[in-house]
Structure 1
Amino acid sequence: MVTDINMPVLSGIELIEQSNQLLAKPPKFVVLSGYDDFSYAQAAMRQRVAEYLLKPVDDEEIGELLVKLSRKIGDEIEAEHHQAKKELLAVSHMMNRLIQGEHGEAMEEQIKRSLKLEGNSELQCLLVWIENVFDPAEVSPLLTRGFEGETGCLFQDGCGRMGFVVQSGASVSGRLQEAAIQIHRELTERLDGPVIIAVSEPKRSLRSIRELYAQTVEVVERKRCLGKSGVFFYQECIRPVNRELLLQTFKTLLETVQEGDPEGITACVRESFAWIAAGPVELEWVKTHVADMEWSVCGLIKDLNGDPAALMKAQERQLGTLGEIRDYRALQAYMERFCLQAGALLSELKLSSESNTIYQVVQYVDREFRGRLQLQDLARHFHMNATYLGQLFKKTTGKPFNEYLNDKRIEEAKRLLKRSPLKISDVALQVGYPNTDYFINKFKLKTGMLPSAYKQDAGNSPDGPMGER
């Protein structure tokens, strides 16, 4: 800034003095004066002016001075950035050790000094995820400026995300959301891409930083997978989800695929992902159950003499493999396309095999095996001769009707014994054996083991002394 000595209201020296007192980073001043009195020059030097020039000043002289000052200011800014990077690196190193569970008095004391911790203060962690490549030196000032006047510690985690731990006292809690929204707005405008700012719960003690950081990571990863951008608070977006109900939506989806209903498939997929969006469900957990459904659908296609491999290859060409998916947006698109294509293919295959009544019989047995089934009843239901149906059934499945039915029931019993706490007698009833002794006999003939032994071997506790009853 170029100023004169004598000006109305405020002299040049007073302007410089007040700027130095009030501004964190006052400008560099050049004084132009018509007075060669040494006292003026001495007063200016005390205020650390960049230059004191006597009038008149020619254009060449002032031009050279401005070029020199421009270089000096540039060098100072570069030095500040370099120092800020060094400090960020040092603090980040300490913070990353702390959030990985490492503790040490010296390290904790250093972080306390950085945070200027007062007693057992409450802390909160903010974590910033930016999709586009960014320069930490560009982002850091926005974070610190958002909490200007508050004690905080800026760091960069091992994944390159910027974090900020701040004391969540009364002065911060009232404006933390406002500051986070403002930071998000500026980052989004400047970096032109999705930005997620996650805010943890408040907790006390330095060692809670690890938990606070983990909360923000959970929020960031969840919102990133859902393709979201914005400011998100841990308390508001992490709610428990009933995984059994979510699995029920997958089961309904599989049934809808079998029916070949495109509108129903789309609605079921959206309902499933609405459940996923409502609570913390790990992406890999969901992918595992999508893979199970793929396996089931491919089995149905194969049973109808279709080509499941062709379906999967077409899916891979269009959207890649399930293992390559890294977020929920891509997973939803993958799942919806697969189910629609599979539903259409199953409908075609069923149409081509409608004349084959035995397929319908086998499907009926597969669906109703838990009930009381007899070959004579099936023959009446499908308007066939019982003897002919028995021959056709064996030719199609490779097993006589009763053997096929028992095998189906035993396979379901094995699944229940592995995965549920049901008693042996309850398992027998659920798979179609009202007589527990008869069930135990059939199970042992098929597997060579008693149900209780099989249950124990599968990793479940036995039902006790009366487990076989």
Structure 2
Amino acid sequence: MSKHRASNPWHKDKPVCGLSFFRCCSRIILLLFGGIHMFRRIPMYKVMIVDDEPWAIKGIRNAFDWDKYGFEIIGQFKSAYTAWDAIKANEPDLVFTDIRMPEISGLDLMKRAKVEGLDIEFVIVSGYAEFEYAQEALRYGALDYFLKPLDIDKADPFIAKLAMHFSRRSTARNQLLLDALTSANEDEIKSFLPLPDDAAVYYYQVLTIYFEGENKNIKNLLSLEGKPVHVVEVEAGARKMLVVLMTEHKACLEGLSDKWFLNKTGIHVMGVSSISNQLKHMSKLIKEADLSASQVFLEEAGGVVHYEPKLHLVKPCIDEIHHILQGNQFDDVDAYIKGLQAYFRDHHLGMSEVVYLWNQAVGILIKAYSEELKDMELEFLNYSEIKERFEHFQSLCSFLHEVLDSIRIGNSRSVQEGDIQSCFNRMIHYINHHFEQKLYLKDLSAQFFINQVYCCQLFRKNLGKTFSEYVSELRIKKARQLLKRTDLSIEEVAIQAGYVDYYYFNKVFKKHCGMTPTRFRKS
């Protein structure tokens, strides 16, 4: 698709604009000059109708249930010239157009849009006598055609098919954008961002937003008081969104505060990254915003959380584990675990500190009791893996409690070995049939009457892998099958495989397969 508007014979004086290319790639940019006073996802696909006969326009308007399938008619035109000016100005998603019109034909509109580099789909409305023209339009790239007079019985399936096309197109572009932003390739990232070629220095900041429901509606969220800012919005899960802010004025981002967060917006929590003027730090900024938004792992209350690591405050917690193990002070375990949760709450510690605590504790425990703990699921984890394994911080603390208890009392069994193996086999059968659901080892251990710590040992002993590894393998296996055998979007594949967070799904899939889901499907 051409990006060079200078080659357009109707607009020779217009400069080349890279923004058109980005629109072709994402549809999710809002470039707002003079400050951002409203930031909202556009929930409808924009439609224009072009026909020189008023009765035909009325028929098209009335034939389809536009609202039901997510379409909004933003213009109707009897003049193709007037329509062309409106198409350039508003860049609709879809144009219904007659083929044979005075002045400019429907084919001419399609050709002009292609020359301009506009990412617009066309549906041709033609009579039976013009069927050959309709076929020609399809060769020029028309999405579909609908014959006059309109058949009402065929209208609903037709508009449903169009809606499915736009939904899949949108999710595919979103996945490309997500892949680019999390890559290490600066050129690839830059090709997806609406930055002018002559920009001297740009500053970047990322927001991670979790919503109460699936309706991701952000309204009156940002007020930047007259400074130009580029905003890129990226779907990252059923209730999760990444928002990339870009500006030449660092003060615009430094001045942002908790005033962003408004009640009754449907937003649960918003994580805010640090600021960087290096495009290569984009993946790091996304991680920081994600870590900040993961504050809900520690507490249910939402709000705005800025990235502010406080790792030095975790040292007393680590020292206490040393004290318990070296002094054999296992009677202090109960008080330690209770105090640990209170300490994190009182000092407003976040996910960065949880990751640090967990990995330090794992290192200390394995070093001191390598033989006793060799079959337990004690391994170094990143923040995404911790959230996947534990429901919340209390669950993580409970697991540490059980590990320390197992060291104190040994692995005594409440039931016979044969009964334990039978319970474990039933657990595996349950996992095999429910791995698409949210699964936590603590809940499964209670459900099948096996001590959680001993359960970890059984996974190693029987399957040669941890619980997390076993579940991940099942999910990725299903994801691979869906990517090979279906045309489901990446997001739909992630959900059916058991991942509600597409961003995390991308990371896990790449870890297992050595490439992103998008590239796996292409290969």
Same fold (TM over 0.5): no
- The structure where strand makes up a greater share of residues is 2
Instruction: State the structure with bigger RCO (CA 8 A, min sep 6), 1 or 2.
Output: 2
- The structure where helix makes up a greater share of residues is 1
Larger radius of gyration: 1
For Structure 1 versus Structure 2, the TM-score category normalised by the shorter chain is 0.3 to 0.5
TM-score between both structures, scaled by the size of structure 1: 0.40
TM-score between both structures, scaled by the size of structure 2: 0.37
